[in-house]
């Protein structure tokens, strides 16, 4: 299959010799040393052996439920950073836009195409994840033991952020009130979103047949597998004030307070394992999943053909 790759934006990259690459399952993880500059960011502290084991454990959880058919590893860089407010971590992905087998303009993360289609654009990274050095002013819990006191569980946050790298994200731009990153297409995930009036996101617009209400609390995911397992439309996080990075891209926290892909985690909580519902949603997004026997009935959707691929970075 022929791919056309157009570069729309690049960051300057400078890597010191101290970077350590470890392979876990389907991922190559790039650990940057303290003070190392990569993609215009400076890694704030070194990675301990315990922290590296935490990342391996989180990757193992995703490998447990998703069948890897890729010809190469997903390239994931991890860095320590300082965030403001209550942000614990953030995932950024190399995004590719093209047309799916049904002729629809679509956006995929680099990790989606690597894992599901063995696609290789020749880029040095597919995704990178940053973690707040002081856990939003609290404390990180590292290692296999459960968190105590004011600790935030690091393994749970890693597992969550990898989920975004694998496609749990939307393209809605609140400044323009439209979807599709300027008309490039909807993400696979958001193609299953629907508000309470039945409106769906529209590439380059707000919604069809009417005006999609991004503040409809909650709104829903309507994939076949997820709705059959849950027994109806699956509530998605949509607070009355739009929250960039949180709104539209998570399970509704009020309905699913202890799920990995809910938008927030509390001190002392652990969310290291994916639920059957989250696995069903991944199946709806086109992943080949490995469900627990007799627990979940999955309709596997055939992989679409990809062509006219172009790559870009979200703002």
- Sorted by sequence, the CB contacts under 8 Å of residue 144 that are 6+ apart come out as 57, 155
Averaged over 71-85, what is the pLDDT? 90
pLDDT tier for residue 4 given thresholds of 50, 70 and 90: very low
**pLDDT given at position 7:** 27
**pLDDT given at position 103:** 73
Residue from 93, 283, 69 nearest 189 by CA: 283
Identify the bridge partners of residue 219 per DSSP, sorted by sequence position.
236
CA distance 7 to 229: 40
The backbone torsions φ and ψ at residue 243, rounded to the nearest 5 degrees and listed phi first, read: -115, 105
Identify the bridge partners of residue 203 per DSSP, sorted by sequence position.
179
Helices (H) and strands (E) counted in the chain, each on its own, are: 5, 18
pLDDT-wise least confident of 90-94, 253-257, 293-297: 293-297
CA distance 246 to 22: 30
Residue from 81, 70, 77, 71 nearest 34 by CA: 81
pLDDT tier for residue 274 given thresholds of 50, 70 and 90: very high
Specify the 3-state DSSP secondary structure of 79. strand
Chain CA centroid to CA 188, Å? 12
CA distance 313 to 315: 6
**pLDDT given at position 315:** 31
On whether the pTM is more than 0.85, the answer is yes
In total, the chain counts a number of residues equal to 315
Domain boundaries, the chain: 20-168
**pLDDT given at position 234:** 97
Residue 256 has pLDDT above 90, yes or no: yes
The residue that leads in pLDDT, 126 or 3, is 126
**What is the average pLDDT value for the chain, to the nearest integer?**
83
Averaged over 304-308, what is the pLDDT? 32
pLDDT tier for residue 18 given thresholds of 50, 70 and 90: low
The backbone torsions φ and ψ at residue 301, rounded to the nearest 5 degrees and listed phi first, read: -90, 135
b/e burial code for range 139-172 (CB count within 10 A of at least 16 → b): ebbbbeeebeeebbbbbbbbbbbbbbbbbbbbbb
CA distance 77 to 81: 13
pLDDT digits 0-9 by tens, 143-171: 999 999 889 999 999 999 999 999 999 88
């Amino acid at each position: 299959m022929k791919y056309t790759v157009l570069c729309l934006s690049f960051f300057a990259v400078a890597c010191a010799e101290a970077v350590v690459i470890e392979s876990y399952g389907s991922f190559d993880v790039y650990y940057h040393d303290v003070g190392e500059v990569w993609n215009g960011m400076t890694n704030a502290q070194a990675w301990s052996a315990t922290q590296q084991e935490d990342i391996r454990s989180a990757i193992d959880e995703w490998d447990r439920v998703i069948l890897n058919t890729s010809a190469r590893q997903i390239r994931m860089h991890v860095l320590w950073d300082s965030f403001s407010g209550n942000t614990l971590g953030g995932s950024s992905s190399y995004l590719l836009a093209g047309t799916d087998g049904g002729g629809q303009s679509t956006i995929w993360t680099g990790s989606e195409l690597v894992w599901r289609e063995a696609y290789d654009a020749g880029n040095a990274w597919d995704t990178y994840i940053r973690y707040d050095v002081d856990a939003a002013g609290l404390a990180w819990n590292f290692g296999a033991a459960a968190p105590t006191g004011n600790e935030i569980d690091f393994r749970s946050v890693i597992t969550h952020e990898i989920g975004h790298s694998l496609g749990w994200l939307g393209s809605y731009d609140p400044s323009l009130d439209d979807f599709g990153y300027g008309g490039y297409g909807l993400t696979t995930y958001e193609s299953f979103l629907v508000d309470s009036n039945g409106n769906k996101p529209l590439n380059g617009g707000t919604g069809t047949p009417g005006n999609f209400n991004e503040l409809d609390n909650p709104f829903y995911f309507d994939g076949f597998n997820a709705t059959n397992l849950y027994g109806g439309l699956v509530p998605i996080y949509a607070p009355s004030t739009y929250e960039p990075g949180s709104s539209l891209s998570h399970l509704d926290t009020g309905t699913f307070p202890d799920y990995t892909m809910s938008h927030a985690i509390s001190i002392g909580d652990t969310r290291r394992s994916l639920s059957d519902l989250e696995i069903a949603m991944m199946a709806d997004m086109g992943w080949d999943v490995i469900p627990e026997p007799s627990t979940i009935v999955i309709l596997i959707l055939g992989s679409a053909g990809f062509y006219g691929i172009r790559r870009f970075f979200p703002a």
